Structure 1
Amino acid sequence: MAARLDAQPAHPVLRVAVDGVDGAGKTIFADELAASLSSVGREVIRASVDGFHNPRAVRHRLGRDSPEGFYCDSYDYAGMRKALLDPLGPDGSLGYRTAIFDADADQSVSQPEMTARPGSILIVDGLFLHRPELRGVWDDSVFLRVDFGVSVPRGAARGPGFGSPDPAAESNRRYIGGNELYFREANPEKWVGVVVDNTDLKAPFIVPDAARS
């Protein structure tokens, strides 16, 4: 994947998404991809959709257990485009911020604006990155394919506060249901550049185009 990205032109920054469900391994994959690109001399900007949450009152307006609320209300996509994606796109200013909101503190983040160098590669990890309103901003992208039977226990293993390892548990209804809504509406594997089966963290593999959902 690093070789694929390194070979592509940046206009002025190559904007790349790493998408997948909770527990798919997005953050680690994106960090390792960034390290691989840095090792061949590319300047990399790392960001996560988690820096662009909506306030808690918006996220939970449909209830704390709502799948629709998880999918529709978790993130401020307009804010992410304004602060990060559009400035690094064609005709952008190159002045960007990688976060505008702290979900834990439930407050805005006052982050100084940084300036990207032309030719840099932006790697953004997170949920729902192939929603219709973001579909046109990525120059390339990865979707990590992992079944809920693997991803939910993997996510729960992070420690207390990360939910039950049982995909059928009521505490997981919001998250699994929200992702299922995303799959139905956005069909991310149709739009993504590369699908990687990340079920076995020690043996990921690229899914052939003919085997995509």
Structure 2
Amino acid sequence: MQDIDSARGYYEDAYDFGSLASKVLRPLGPGGDRRYATKVHDLVTDEIVTGQAPAIAPTDAVMIFDATFIQRPELDGLWDDVVYLHAEESVALDRGIARDAANLGGVNRARQAYERRYMAACRIYVDERNPAARASIVVDNTDPMLPQMVRMRSR
């Protein structure tokens, strides 16, 4: 376990990818029994969620999952397709600060957290995993009112 306040610590330990794989992705994937956890991590308390009764997905269910770092090695081979949303780093920084300033103690603290931890962790992810190159679909979402399709790879 890394220092959770560091970029490396956030990148490596912010999520329980093992539980995501075993309790959500594998049950919903090929050969799975469709019995899955609706929540594996509580972001407010930063606790792993346990003891919940599984939900059962219909046979024709489609799962859409939104999170950072979803192309980590622990999840390789568990996605049918991955959409990578790109935004210029300065734009992503401004969005994060605006969204999280109240929860992080104000604009200045939010900026520090994003610069030292969150955006730095994203750079680690991009450097180590090259998610845009690995994704099925890449969208430039720098301007969310005018997203631009960069690439769509056919299967």
Output the TM-score relative to the length of structure 2: 0.85
2:87 maps to 1:121: no
Instruction: Summarize the alignment of residues 36-185 of structure 1 with structure 2, pairs less than 5 Å apart.
Output: 61-64=2-5, 66-109=6-49, 110-158=51-99, 159-162=101-104, 164=107, 169-172=111-114, 173-185=116-128
Distance 1:123 1:156, change over 3 A: same
**Higher normalized contact order (CA 8 Å, seq sep 6+, divided by chain length):** 1
Whose helix proportion is higher, 1 or 2?
2
Q: Percent identity?
A: 36
Secondary structure at the aligned position of 1:195 is classed as: strand
Could you say if the C-alpha distance between residues 63 and 102 of structure 1 is closer, same or farther in structure 2, counting changes exceeding 3 Å?
closer
Instruction: Work out the number of aligned pairs and report it.
Output: 148
- How many Å separate the matches in 1 of 2:78 and 2:44? 27
Contact 1:71 1:182 in 2 (8 A): yes
Residue deviations 1:66-121 (CA, integer Å, cap 9, x gap): 11101111111111111100001111111011212323224343432111111211
Structure 1 counterpart SS, 2:82: strand
In 2 relative to 1, CA 63–121 (structure 1 residues): closer, same or farther, beyond 3 Å? closer
Change (3 A) 1:200 1:165: farther
CA–CA distance in 2 between the matches of 1:153 and 1:137?
A: 32
Greater CA deviation, 70-79 or 104-113?
A: 104-113
Structure number with the higher strand fraction is 1
Cα deviation for residue 164 of structure 1 reads 3.9
Shift of 1:166: 9.9
Q: Unmatched 5+ residue regions in structure 1?
A: 1-57
SS at match of 1:157: helix
Q: Taking structure 1 as reference, are residues 150 and 74 closer, same or farther at Cα in structure 2, changes over 3 Å only?
A: same
For each residue in 1:190-210, what CA deviation from the matched residue of structure 2 results, as whole angstroms up to 9, or x when unmatched? 11110000011111010037x
Tell me the distance in 1 between the aligned counterparts of 2:76 and 2:108.
31
Structure 1 pair 184–92 and aligned structure 2 pair: CA distance change class (3 A) = same
Alpha carbon RMSD of aligned pairs, Å? 2.2
Provide the rounded CA distance (Å) in 2 between the counterparts of 1:95 and 1:138: 17
Give me the TM-score of the superposition, normalised by structure 1.
0.63
Measured in 1, the distance between the counterparts of 2:129 and 2:89 equals 18
SS in structure 1 at match of 2:10: helix
